[in-house]
Amino acid sequence: MLTSFIEGLLCCLSSKSTNVVVPVETSELADGYEFVEVKPGRVLRVRHIIPDRPVVEEPTGTGGIVSCKRKITVYRNGQLFIENLGEEQKNCQDGETEPNNPVEVELRDSRNSSPTVSLPEAKSESPTAGKEGTAETGAREKAPAAGQTDQLQQPRKRRWKPKRTVIIDCERKISACKGTHADVALFFIHGVGGSLDIWGNQLEFFSKLGYEVVTPDLAGHGASSAPKIAAAYTFYALAEDMRLIFKRYARKRNILIGHSYGVSFCTFLAHEYPDQIHKMVMINGGGPTALEPSLCSIFNLPTCVLHCLSPLLAWSFLKAGFARQGAREKQLLKDNNAFNVSSFVLRAMMSGQYWPEGDEVYHAEITVPVLLVHGLHDKFVPIEEDQRMAEILLMAFLKVLEDGSHMIMMECPQAVNTLLHEFILWEPATLPPPKKDSKTRPETAKARTENSKASSDPSNVRPATARQTSSNSGTVEKPDSKTKK
């Protein structure tokens, strides 16, 4: 603590940063680690594991086809209205199905503090409808009575007009992704202050099952290069890095797993490449709101001050990021290189979180099935934000782990691995095709007359199991059985 304070004081006096903004020294030269130059002078460390599969299988399951139909309407007062369309079956994660009747969900913009305004009604055919103020009604209408004056003077609800309407109409084929399938790749993306090492348990678990896994270090984190300009850590700069990494290692069916700030990059990729993203997992990612840096934040302080406060920030991260603050949790932070970034990078990352496009409408347009994992003791992301995300998304499953917090993949690795694996293997139940009713040719009046005559003759009576042939209709009928085509 004293050393950090002295270094920060020298930084303020000399106007130079004491933080060494270079990649963290690493001795990991084993197979699986690569250094990818996404831009000139911008190098990211990537761990890419291609396991030796004893058996390589081709995907044989038909999977399930889900019809994604919804209408998203945004009104001028900021109100959002989502209507799910279609008569298809909604498939749950446990394999059960429930009818997906047309449902209208009214969602209020979380950023709009104004009271909820009723939805606009159908426009009247009268030419005076929709005009503000008082309008003349013509000679056909009489003047209002004195008792009705107060009723007419009451304020009328304003009819908001739609600002924008988005129609989604597509079909997605969702199938189980096994480790023996060569067309599957898992991408893990960490958040602010993390590194690819925080996914150690997940990488080991899924690579042993035969999955191909890819996880990068964000710029300024882990062993990736750390530019000395703040513009290198904006959302758009980091999202472009993730786009290049994805295009380099992508397979036919890709599954994105993001944590915290990394969820925003997964959402960006799922929106840009909906046909290549098969499934997505959000771990403590927060609500579907546009990113905007806070003006009153401790991270707006000068870099030298943040360097002085770095021990306090690390202690605060331990308190808020873990459900328990023991020796095990401290060792996890040290071993997994978590929250081990320079004050300059930390300040630039927090102030660069500007993404106005990532609002509720942006998330509502995503058709990728999503699993949301939330740690109950998370002090960074309230559970209400993940619940809001589950409401906005088209296909979302929310799972809450009671023993975890923000760094849940490090606290409860077995539970997280089990949830991820079950979701990766999940596929919608294939509904049997509807049975067509057998259509038989109706009997003519002449045939009914001949049959009645034949039945009245005792010599023509046959056993019930014998086939009766009609000479007029040409059909063969079996008593007590349905006609087969």
Catalytic amino acids?
Answer: 260, 378, 406
Spatial strand order of the sheet with 80-84 comes to: 103-107, 80-84, 64-75, 162-174
Find how far residue 328's CA is from the centre of its chain.
32
Look at residues 172, 397, 357 and name the one whose alpha carbon lies nearest to residue 275. 172
Using CA of residue 260, residue 265, residue 271, residue 275, what is the dihedral sign?
negative
Look at residues 37, 116, 105 and name the one whose alpha carbon lies nearest to residue 360. 105
Residue carrying structure tokens 């990394």: 262
Residue carrying structure tokens 């913009």: 109
First to last CA, the chain: 86
CA torsion angle 166 272 397 95 (round to 10): 90
Q: Exposed, middle or buried: residue 341 (CB in 10 Å: 0-12, 13-18, 19+)?
A: buried
CA distance 454 to 350: 93
CA distance 479 to 483: 9
Neighbours of 459 (CB within 10 A): 5
User: What 3-state DSSP class applies to 382?
Assistant: coil
Residue 207 — φ and ψ, nearest 5°? -70, -35
Spatial strand order of the sheet with 184-189 comes to: 33-39, 42-49, 212-216, 184-189, 253-259, 277-283, 370-375, 396-401
- Which amino acid does the sequence have at 262? G
User: What 3-state DSSP class applies to 184?
Assistant: strand
Find how far residue 236's CA is from the centre of its chain.
19
Using CA of residue 330, residue 335, residue 336, residue 338, what is the dihedral sign?
positive
CA distance 376 to 389: 16
Which two structure tokens, joined as six digits, stand for 255? Answer: 């599954």
**Residue 348: in which H helix or E strand, if any?**
helix 343-351
In degrees, to the nearest 5, what angle opens at C-alpha 401 toward C-alphas 397 and 407? 105
Reported for 477-482, long-range contacts at CB under 8 A and 24+ positions apart, including other chains, are 482/438
Which two structure tokens, joined as six digits, stand for 404? Answer: 């975890």
